[in-house]
Amino acid sequence: MVRRWIRFLGKEEALKLMNWNNSDPYFSLRVNTTNGYTRDDLVNRLEDLQVHYEKSIMDEFVRIREGMQAVLQAGLLKEGMCAVQDESAGFVVSVVDPQPGETIMDCCAAPGGKTLFMASRLAGQGKVSALDINKGRLRILMEAAKCHNLDDIITDIHGDLRLYAT
């Protein structure tokens, strides 16, 4: 693999990639604006918990490298202040750009990060149908929807998308 990276990227870029690949990962937290929170609210709580963070280019996200245990113990996820969500999934939602009043179908929806984010963008006006083959993961999605006050916007559909493809 290293030889292939060097061949395609050159030695300098391959070394950068290998160093990045061996660095500690970070967690992205998305603030739950549906519950009235702002990124500043989340940042203030992280500062109170002495969790170092950096702001994302996306307004709803912050990144942390350490301190996830403190975030969990403080109940920030359980109380619905934020959710763990990769920023790449957030970018997908930005591209979809959900608007109030729209109806959205999210296929292969569980565990629900994009579903929740899209539903929050609807500002209480619209619907998101969350289709997934895994009933247990759909249940987790709906528990998160309730925690984020989005359970009246999201409808879960247990099904196999492959059965609808013709």
Q: Is 106 marked as binding a ligand?
A: no
Determine if residue 109 is labeled as part of a ligand binding site: yes
The reply, when asked if residue 110 is annotated as ligand binding, is: yes
55 is in an annotated binding site: no
Separation in Å, CA 123 to CA 12, 33, 36, 100, 102: 47, 9, 11, 6, 10
Please tell me whether 111 is known to bind a ligand. yes
Q: Give the three-state DSSP class for 54.
A: strand
Strand partners, 54: 63
For residues 90-112, b (16+ Cβ closer than 10 Å) or e, as one string? beebeeeebeeeeebebeebbbb
Q: Is 160 annotated as a binding residue?
A: yes
**114 assigned to a ligand binding site:** yes
Helices (H), 22-128: 39-48, 68-73, 87-96, 113-121
Residue tagged 């202040």 (tokens): 81
Three-state SS at 157: strand
Q: Which residue numbers belong to the known binding site for S-adenosyl-L-methionine?
A: 108-114, 132, 160
Q: Which residue numbers belong to the known binding site?
A: 108-114, 132, 160
